[in-house]
């Protein structure tokens, strides 16, 4: 658009052509499109588009839509009346849906053989790993040759084997420059701009603070870039889950796939004064189910706020003690408010003995007794929030360093959780992100660190068979979106839950 101005100066007229607007879009709208949520979406398009391929566009469409919820019935309110009310509105009991789907799967899915489901001995895996370390150490000492000596005797600078002279060891004095010229440079950690991402990547991360030299050429998505660690360099145990059951007293209602999920009314106060149900994402319920709670358990929710998962655990009526920890004071206060809204007479002595609120950094949380179960729902990029809200968005310019350090924080939290759980107890690691780095990558790194630093061994329990009965309720990752160790709840327009990653670990040593 051209603006013409006429200026009179000393009887002379000048015509000035101005090109103020080079686009029809107002500058305020252009600035708005550069906000945190648009930056997050561009980042995900680049990152997830490379990882998930054709599966990413429908995930993206679902992320930008309103999320779906389930209703967790409050056992401390009018439970029977609430269930009847929701049933009349077309909602179904999640436990019943899972039973029906499981029966269907058992009938039409071939059963696994005993050899497929039989877990490997933990002792054998550890012994094999120790043997591998010993053989690796030997291979570093001896040259790669068919004539490896069985016994070595050192005498007068000669190496003798079976009374035969092999070689004379000559001590050579070299300058530093000569040594550098002859040295072999390890180029395994060099990141080139041309590196791509395939569907099998991102099982480990390089901390952003360790990337030097190519920062200006490396996209942010590659700051978490990868070593494709198919080679298990520590005793990594993966075995099928055998303890999964749906708690008898936990009542969850949901609508079927492709149905209108806006039909849930607002929760109401019961005659006892508490709300009748708690609305939440179904993937959050799965994280609690993955704990496989037992009567009398001592449970730690390491990053508890705002307290929804801890509330679901209490609704199972199984744990004796629930410790809710969160470093944020404001978020911890929110947890307490939710408990007062849903737990009858919360604050009485009976609740003070069962529910303990703590405000400690989860990385340094300590306990003398140990826990039977630990839930660590770590801080993450919160993908759905990041693409829909600018407020408190992790992609804000002033939070770049915080975002780049997320995997390190997650790893430290998970390692501490493994230290806090008893041998034989379980840790459930969960995020609300699609990122393979924050999911499988952090889990793999934490397991290795726990073993190498604290001699802790934990088995990954494969929940694939246990959660197969949810196929009519939500969508789990498959193909490029299927994790190696955990389960990924993928957003879809038919069942817009998640995103969420859930992995179950059982400590065996």
d(CA 244, CA 314): 18
Same domain, 83 and 97: yes
Single residue among 29, 50, 71 that ends a domain in this structure: 50
Quick check: is 160 in a domain?
A: no
Over range 201-205, report the average pLDDT: 45
Same domain, 32 and 76: no
Same domain, 17 and 84: no
Radius of gyration of the chain from its Cα atoms, rounded to whole angstroms: 29
- Given a cut of 80, whether residue 260 has pLDDT beyond it is no
The answer to whether 167 is a known ligand-binding residue is no
Quick check: is 140 in a domain?
A: no
- Given a cut of 90, whether residue 278 has pLDDT beyond it is yes
Quick check: is 78 in a domain?
A: yes
The answer to whether 301 is a known ligand-binding residue is no
What CATH number is associated with residue 482?
Answer: 3.40.50.150
* Catalytic residue check, 432: yes
Same domain, 423 and 473: yes
Over range 470-487, report the average pLDDT: 92
Same domain, 347 and 427: yes
What is the secondary structure of 360-399 as a DSSP string?
--TTS---SS-EEEEEEE-----HHHHHH--TT-TTSGGG
Quick check: is 412 in a domain?
A: yes
pLDDT in tens, 311-322: 999 999 999 999
Structural domain of 22? 3-50
Quick check: is 127 in a domain?
A: no
Same domain, 32 and 95: no
The answer to whether 103 is a known ligand-binding residue is no
Same domain, 21 and 105: no
What is the secondary structure of 27-40 as a DSSP string?
HHHHHHTTSHHHHH
Same domain, 42 and 65: no
Quick check: is 134 in a domain?
A: no
Q: What phi and psi values does residue 301 have, to the nearest 5 degrees?
A: -105, 100
Quick check: is 447 in a domain?
A: yes
- Given a cut of 90, whether residue 289 has pLDDT beyond it is yes
pLDDT in tens, 339-379: 999 999 998 888 988 999 999 999 999 999 999 999 999 99
The answer to whether 361 is a known ligand-binding residue is yes
Over range 386-406, report the average pLDDT: 92
At 347 the pLDDT is 81
The answer to whether 53 is a known ligand-binding residue is no
Q: What phi and psi values does residue 89 have, to the nearest 5 degrees?
A: -90, 5
The answer to whether 229 is a known ligand-binding residue is no
The answer to whether 372 is a known ligand-binding residue is no
Spatial CA neighbour of 308 closest among 280, 332, 330, 336: 280
Q: pLDDT-derived band of residue 258, with 50, 70 and 90 as boundaries?
A: confident
Task: Indicate the helix (H) or strand (E) that contains 241.
Answer: none
DSSP β-ladder status, 500-507 and 458-462: antiparallel
Same domain, 430 and 395: yes
Cis amide prior to 95 (ω within 30 degrees): no
Neighbours of 127 (CB within 10 A): 12
Same domain, 323 and 344: yes
Assess contact for 456 and 416: CB atoms under 8 A: no
At 7 the pLDDT is 46
Cβ-Cβ contacts under 8 Å for 458 (sequence gap 6 or more): 237, 418, 427, 447, 450, 505, 506, 507, 508
Instruction: Taking each helix axis as running N to C, give the angle between helix 36-52 and helix 56-63, from 0 to 180 degrees, rounded to the nearest 10.
Output: 150
At 315 the pLDDT is 97
Structural domains of the chain, count: 2
pTM listed for this prediction:
0.76
Same domain, 330 and 254: yes
Same domain, 437 and 487: yes
Catalytic residue among 270, 324, 380, 432: 432
d(CA 228, CA 441): 10
- Given a cut of 80, whether residue 23 has pLDDT beyond it is no
Quick check: is 322 in a domain?
A: yes
Average pLDDT over the chain, rounded to an integer:
79
- Given a cut of 70, whether residue 106 has pLDDT beyond it is yes
DSSP β-bridge partners for residue 5? 16
Helices (H) and strands (E) in the chain, counts: 16, 18
């Amino acid at each position: 658009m051209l603006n013409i101005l006429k200026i009179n100066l000393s009887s002379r007229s000048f015509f000035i052509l101005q090109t103020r607007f080079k686009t029809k879009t107002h500058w305020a709208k252009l600035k708005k499109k550069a906000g945190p949520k648009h930056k997050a979406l561009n980042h995900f398009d680049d990152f997830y588009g490379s990882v998930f391929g054709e599966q990413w566009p429908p995930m993206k469409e679902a992320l930008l839509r309103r999320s779906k919820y389930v209703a967790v019935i409050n056992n401390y309110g009018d439970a029977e009346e609430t269930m009847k009310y929701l049933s009349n509105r077309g909602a179904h009991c999640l436990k019943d849906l899972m039973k029906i789907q499981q029966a269907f799967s058992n009938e039409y899915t071939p059963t696994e053989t005993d050899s497929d489901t039989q877990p490997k001995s933990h002792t054998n895996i550890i012994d094999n790993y120790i043997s591998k370390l010993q053989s690796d150490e030997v291979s570093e000492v001896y040259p790669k040759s068919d004539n490896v000596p069985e016994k070595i005797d050192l005498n007068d600078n000669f190496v003798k084997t079976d009374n035969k002279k092999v070689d004379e060891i000559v001590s050579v004095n070299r300058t530093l420059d000569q040594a550098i010229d002859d040295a072999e440079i390890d180029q395994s950690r060099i990141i080139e701009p041309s590196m791509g991402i395939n569907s099998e990547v991102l099982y480990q991360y390089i901390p952003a603070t360790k990337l030097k030299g190519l920062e200006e050429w490396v996209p942010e998505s590659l700051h978490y870039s990868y070593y494709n660690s198919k080679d298990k360099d520590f005793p990594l145990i993966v075995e099928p889950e055998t303890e999964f059951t749906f708690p008898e007293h936990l009542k969850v209602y949901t609508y079927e796939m492709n149905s209108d999920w806006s039909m849930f009314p607002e929760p109401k106060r019961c005659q006892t004064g508490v709300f009748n149900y708690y609305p939440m994402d179904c993937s959050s319920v799965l994280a609690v189910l993955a704990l496989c709670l037992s009567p009398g358990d001592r449970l730690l929710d390491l990053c508890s706020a705002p307290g929804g998962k801890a509330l679901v655990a209490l609704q199972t009526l199984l744990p004796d003690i629930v410790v809710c920890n969160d470093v944020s004071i404001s978020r911890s206060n929110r947890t307490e408010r939710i408990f007062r809204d849903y737990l009858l007479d919360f604050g009485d002595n009976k609740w003070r003995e069962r529910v303990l609120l703590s405000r400690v950094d989860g990385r340094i949380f300590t306990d003398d007794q140990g826990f039977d179960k630990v839930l660590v729902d770590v801080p993450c990029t919160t993908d759905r929030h990041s693409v829909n809200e600018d407020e408190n968005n992790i992609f804000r310019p002033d939070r770049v360093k915080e975002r780049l350090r997320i995997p390190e924080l997650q790893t430290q939290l998970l390692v501490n959780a493994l230290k806090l759980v008893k041998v034989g107890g379980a840790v459930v690691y969960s995020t609300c992100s699609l990122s393979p780095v924050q999911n499988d990558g952090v889990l793999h790194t934490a397991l290795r660190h726990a073993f190498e630093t604290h001699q802790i061994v934990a088995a990954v329990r494969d929940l694939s068979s246990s959660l197969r009965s949810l196929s009519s309720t939500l969508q789990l990752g498959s193909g490029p979106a299927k994790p190696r160790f955990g389960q990924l709840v993928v957003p879809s327009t038919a069942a817009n839950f998640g995103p969420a990653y859930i992995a179950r670990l059982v400590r065996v040593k």
